[in-house]
Amino acid sequence: MSSEFITGRANSPLSQIKTGILLVNLGTPDAPTAAAVKRYLTQFLQDRRVVDLNPLIWSFILKGIILPRRAPRVAKLYHEVWMEEGSPLLVYSLRQQRALAARLPQVPVELAMTYGSPSVKQALDRLQSQNIKRLVVLPLYPQYSCSTTAAAWDALSAELANRRDLPEISFIRDYAEHPLYIAALARSIQTSFERYGKPDLLLFSYHGIPQRYVDEGDDYPQRCEATTRGVVAALGLEPSEYKMTYQSRFGREVWLQPYTDETMRSLPSQGVKSIQVICPGFASDCLETIEEIEQQNRAFFLESGGESYHYIPALNDSVEHIDLFETLVTERV
């Protein structure tokens, strides 16, 4: 569908409805300090979409044990990846917002974080001050999960509950199989192959979630598998040439497997000496891709006998990624 329907150039009753776009990402600390990380993690880890344990018990564990230990350590990691303009996730998300706004000059485009700043309230205030009557919401999570996409929906719903004038809402659940998304990932991987040579193995590393969430109905792993199938088909890879894993597990509960870090340590003993890694679940590079995958897991692989390791960056604000975003939002009008 043409973007004219969003910009108001089409001769249609729908074109008279002023539309706004809201991009939503997870969030990030305001600074690479223990205090800022503690504020962020408190908000993030108290969301029952993320951790659904008994709130009284979990609050005691979180505030009394986890945050005092984890916040200083995580702050050091953020300090290592911090960019001149700020946290990588915020920097790339803002670049995406600005690039999309440049594509749709007549349409307000705002960015919100489920946790931290800019908040959903701040973004909605700016959009509603421009009298929008339709809101297209694009969570920046290619694969749906209750712990990310649904949490963004909750944050939006909670904020709208306090407002008298509600816009018509189109909420994009995910885009795991969208042709432009698959093509952009395949092109990014092919570029890496051309630069570094085709590796023994291409590894798709997705952010993990507790296995229990899947048992209770979250279709996240199926969405990740759909993305992998699409990219593998586009590249013409054989089953022996790629593998899927899950990263960033937290706590003692069983999460989706196989685990990325354990896989990295085991691959060299299986004859895999060169590897390239992509994280298709991340729309923007962040701590989990830059520090955990590009640095930490590189060390696991090389120290275990691997010889060549390359991380393929997220799509970030690439032209192909913004093409996808533009198509996603215009398709909804």
Q: Where are the alpha helices (DSSP H) in the chain?
A: 4-7, 34-45, 55-61, 67-81, 88-103, 120-128, 149-160, 179-196, 211-215, 220-235, 260-266, 287, 298-303, 319-331
DSSP 167: P
**Cα–Cα distance list, 294 to 13, 275, 311 (Å):** 49, 12, 6
Is 310 known as a binding-site position?
A: no
Residues 6+ apart with CB under 8 A from 176: 142, 143, 144, 223, 224, 226, 227
Determine whether the annotation assigns residue 178 to a binding site: no
The helix/strand/coil state of 251 is coil
Q: How far apart are CA 108 and CA 97, in angstroms?
A: 10
- List own/partner pairs for 31-38 with CB under 8 A and 24 or more apart: 32/75, 32/76, 32/78, 32/79, 32/82, 32/87, 33/75, 34/71, 34/72, 34/75, 35/71, 36/75, 37/71, 37/72, 37/74, 37/75, 37/78, 38/67, 38/71
168, 58 Cβ separation under 8 angstroms = no
Which residues fall in the annotated binding site?
Answer: 207, 288
Q: Which residues are annotated as a binding site for Fe(2+)?
A: 207, 288
